[in-house]
C-alpha cells in the first residue's frame, strides 16, 4: 500500500479534531504538511509534519497528492480550485462552497483534471444517523407523516474567530450546522419538491443568523430542520413519525466528545454510544404493539478516509459526491430566497 501524502490547509478545531487524528492513524495516508501562517501548533502534536507558510508551498509540492480545504467557508472555492488546478485530489470541508454555481465549477474542474473531489460531511458517519438509516430501512414506521431533525447548541457569546461572526458569504448558522442537517435529510429522502426557510439573529451583538427553521416538502410528508444557539436544554434531536410507529432519538454521537478529550479514534469502544442514549421505537410488529430502545450503531469518521483511499487508489466512488454538495447549497440558497420573499419556493 502506497500511502497518500496529505496536506491540511489549517490546524484549527476542524484540522485538529476531525482530520489530523484520522489521517495520522490510517495506514493509507501520511500527514505530510499543514498551512499555518504564523503558529506552529501541528508540529507540537505531530513532530514529523512539515509547516508551510503559504498555499503555494502546499500545492506546489509534487509529493503532496491530497489537499484538505478546511479554511473559512468563503475561501473554499478559491483554495479548492487552486489545488485541483495544481493536480491534487481535494477534500472540502462542509459547506462545499457558498453558491451552487461555485460547487458546479469545482465538480467540472475535478472531472477535467481526473482528480477525486469530495465534501467532508462527517455527520453521515455519526451513530445517530447510521441508526436512523437502519430503522428506516427496516420499514417499521410505515409511510412517513412528519420528520423533525434538530442540531442545537447553547452559545451565548460570539465566537473569537472573526470569520464566523462577520457577515460574509457563507457565514451563519445555516451554512454551519444547517449544512449537516440538510445533507442528512437529502441522503434519507432525496431532493424535496419545495423549500421554506425562516432565519433570525437572536444573540446580542450577533451580525449573522443564529437561528433557522427549514421546511422540506415531500409527497405526503414534511421534514422540518431546526437549529439554534440559545438552546440550553436541547429537545429530542430526531423525531420520525409514520403511519405505523415513531422513532425518537437524542443527538449523542460520542466521537466529537472523545476527540475533544484527546482520545484516539481506535479500539472497540470508539464511537459507541451508552445505552442511555439509544433511540426509542414505538410501533407495531405482526399485530403486536412494541415500545423498545434500539441499540445505536457505532459511529466512525475513519470510514470516510477508508472510502477516500479506495477512491484515489482503486477508482471507487468518493465518500461524498460533489453533486451531493451542490444539492445542499441549492437548498440553502432556496431557503434564503424563501426567507427573503416570505414564501415557499419550488426546488428546481
Ranges of residues in the chain with a pLDDT under 50 are none
Q: What is the pLDDT of residue 10?
A: 97
Q: What is the pLDDT of residue 200?
A: 97
Q: Do domains 4-120 and 123-298+331-346 have the same CATH topology?
A: no
Closest among 6, 91, 1 to 49, alpha carbons compared:
6
pLDDT tens, residue by residue, 147-192: 999 999 999 999 888 888 999 999 999 999 999 999 999 999 999 9
The C-alpha cell of 138 is what? 427496516
Q: What is the pLDDT of residue 208?
A: 96
User: Is residue 283 left, alpha or beta, with left meaning phi > 0 and alpha meaning psi from -120 to 50?
Assistant: beta
Q: Which residues contact 342 (CB under 8 A, 6 or more apart)?
A: none
Rounded Cα gap, residues 186 and 168, in angstroms: 26
Q: What is the pLDDT of residue 164?
A: 87
Rounded Cα gap, residues 103 and 76, in angstroms: 10
Q: 220, exposed or middle or buried, with CB in 10 Å at 0-12, 13-18, 19+?
A: exposed
- Taking CA atoms, 56 is separated from 9, 16, 93, 318, in Å, by 11, 22, 20, 26
- Dihedral pair phi/psi, residue 306, rounded to 5°: -60, -45
Question: What topology is assigned to 4-120 in CATH?
Answer: Rossmann fold (3.40.50)
Rounded Cα gap, residues 214 and 226, in angstroms: 7
Q: Cell numbers 481535494 correspond to what residue?
A: 90
Q: What kind of architecture, by CATH, is found in domain 123-298+331-346? A: 2-Layer Sandwich (3.30)
Q: What is the pLDDT of residue 129?
A: 96
Closest among 102, 37, 49 to 75, alpha carbons compared:
102
The separation between CA 279 and the C-alpha centre of its own chain, rounded to angstroms, equals 21
Domain locations along the chain: 4-120, 123-298+331-346
Q: What is the pLDDT of residue 287?
A: 86
Q: Which pTM value belongs to this model?
A: 0.96
Amino acid at each position: 500500500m502506497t500511502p497518500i501524502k496529505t496536506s491540511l490547509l489549517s490546524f484549527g478545531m476542524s484540522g485538529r479534531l476531525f482530520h489530523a487524528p484520522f489521517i495520522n492513524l490510517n495506514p493509507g495516508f501520511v500527514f505530510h504538511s499543514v498551512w499555518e501562517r504564523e503558529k506552529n501548533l501541528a508540529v507540537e502534536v505531530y513532530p514529523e509534519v512539515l509547516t508551510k507558510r503559504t498555499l503555494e508551498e502546499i500545492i506546489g509540492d509534487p509529493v503532496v497528492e491530497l489537499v484538505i480545504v478546511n479554511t473559512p467557508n468563503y475561501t473554499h472555492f478559491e483554495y479548492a480550485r487552486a489545488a485541483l488546478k495544481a493536480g491534487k485530489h481535494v477534500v472540502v470541508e462542509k459547506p462545499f462552497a457558498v453558491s451552487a454555481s461555485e460547487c458546479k465549477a469545482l465538480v467540472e474542474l475535478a472531472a477535467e483534471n481526473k482528480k477525486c473531489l469530495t465534501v467532508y460531511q462527517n455527520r453521515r458517519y455519526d451513530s445517530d444517523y447510521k441508526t436512523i438509516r437502519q430503522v428506516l430501512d427496516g420499514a417499521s414506521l410505515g409511510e412517513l407523516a412528519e420528520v423533525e431533525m434538530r442540531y442545537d447548541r447553547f452559545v451565548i457569546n460570539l465566537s473569537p474567530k472573526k470569520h464566523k461572526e462577520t457577515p460574509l458569504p457563507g457565514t451563519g448558522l445555516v451554512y454551519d450546522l444547517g449544512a449537516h442537517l440538510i445533507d442528512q435529510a437529502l441522503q434519507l429522502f432525496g431532493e424535496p419538491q419545495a423549500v421554506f426557510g425562516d432565519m433570525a439573529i437572536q444573540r446580542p451583538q450577533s451580525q449573522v443568523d443564529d437561528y433557522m427553521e427549514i421546511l422540506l416538502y415531500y409527497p405526503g410528508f414534511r421534514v422540518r430542520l431546526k437549529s439554534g444557539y440559545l438552546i440550553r436544554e436541547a429537545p429530542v434531536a430526531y423525531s420520525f413519525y409514520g403511519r405505523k410507529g415513531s422513532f425518537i432519538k437524542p443527538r449523542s454521537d460520542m466521537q466529537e466528545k472523545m476527540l475533544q478529550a484527546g482520545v484516539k479514534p481506535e479500539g472497540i469502544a470508539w464511537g459507541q454510544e451508552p445505552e442511555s442514549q439509544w433511540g426509542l421505537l414505538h410501533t407495531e410488529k405482526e399485530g403486536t404493539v412494541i415500545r423498545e430502545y434500539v441499540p445505536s450503531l457505532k459511529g466512525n469518521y475513519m470510514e470516510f478516509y477508508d472510502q477516500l483511499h479506495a477512491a484515489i487508489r482503486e477508482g471507487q466512488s468518493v465518500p461524498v459526491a460533489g453533486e451531493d454538495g451542490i444539492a445542499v447549497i441549492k437548498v440553502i440558497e432556496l431557503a434564503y430566497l424563501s426567507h427573503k420573499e416570505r414564501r415557499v419556493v419550488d426546488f428546481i
